[in-house]
Homo-oligomer: A and B are copies of this chain.
Amino acid sequence: MEDNKKMYKDRVTIYEVAKVAGVSLATVSRVINNHPNVTEKTRKAVNDAIQRLGYKPSALAQGLANSRSTNIGIMIPSTGYSYVSNMLDGMIDIAKIYGYITSIFVTKRTKEDAAQMIESLIKSHVDGAVIYDDELGTDEIRSIQNYHIPLIVVGHDMEGEALGSIIIEYKDPVMDVVKEHLMQGNDDVYLLDIVNQGKMLDEIRDGLLDYGASNGKHIQTLQFNDSYGIVYAGMKEFFKTHRTGYFVAPRDSLAAAIVNAAQESGLRIPEDVQVLAEIGSKYSYIVRPQVSSFSIDMFKVGSIAVRMLTKLLNEPEGVKQKTFKIRATFNKRETTK
């Protein structure tokens, strides 16, 4: 009938609702936002119109009008690791409860990419963000703050205006366990050094190496790319010439590669070779023998992060605890003595 070059109508706006309900758009707005001062009768009329037209307010327009997007940004490296996706789950879960949409910004462990994601984050007009990225320096993170975006940083010890941080203590617990092994007179530690494993794991490696150096222990390093298959193959080769050792792997799936390679080379665990995983997940207790590893409830970390953020968003000044520490716990299983 009318103008049928457009097959279907565009997004229905608040104007149309107003017209259909026979009121002004201001009234519709009031109904949407549950303002008082609206007659029950007109409220019903408006709601009916909304129902009939299938009207949904545009978050874009609302955001622009309020300068609040009800959107929070989440910056993480690839979700490929289960600890990251667990954290992500925790974050999204809580965000949903508080009525926030979550936008994901994945960084690929390179400075340039991280910088581009920061750019993107700022443009996207999020109300706040939580950042879990091993690659970003504190200065880069601070640069985000120039745009007054409340931030929760996971893994960096930072403080500041509208800035909270969650500190994950992995290094000390790991070092404690390895030190104890070393102090028992052993000098057989091999460290799996994975390319691009991230800053946190690098720090543990360096800490261990330093400790070894200053205590007369020669900690050896085994370099691999980040792949179960590569580590597995490499270790099979390795065990042709080495028949013993205490191996420390960044993640338990990689530890599993060592475990499998060792056993298939006729080595006994933990009698001949011991294996310790820094970041533990389900692999740790599914693999046989079960892998000794450290673990943190990343889902919980994610929830806490977003909870802190929403607090920061709602009561900018009244947030007292801006730092939360969580320490990895050691689960001694069967791959270490």
Contacts and interface: CB of A to CB of B under 8 A. Distances in A.
Contacts of A59: 123-125
Range of interface residues on chain A? 35 or more
Given A79-B85, A123-B57, A260-B286, A103 B103 contact: yes
A286 B288 contact: no
Q: Which of A54, A58, A89 has the most CB of B within 10 A?
A: A58
B79 A69 contact: no
A252 B119 CA distance: 40
A120 interface: yes
> Chain copies in the assembly?
2
A241 interface: no
Contacts of A92: 79, 104, 106
A27 interface: no
A89 B103 contact: no
A96 interface: yes
Interface of A: 8, 10-11, 54, 56-61, 63-64, 67, 69, 71, 78-80, 82, 85-86, 88-89, 92-93, 96, 101-106, 119-120, 122-125, 146-148, 228, 253, 256-257, 260, 263, 282-283, 285-288
Given A101-B103, A104-B104, 11 more contacts: A10-B148, A56-B119, A56-B147, A59-B125, A61-B64, A79-B79, A79-B92, A89-B106, A102-B103, A263-B288, A287-B288
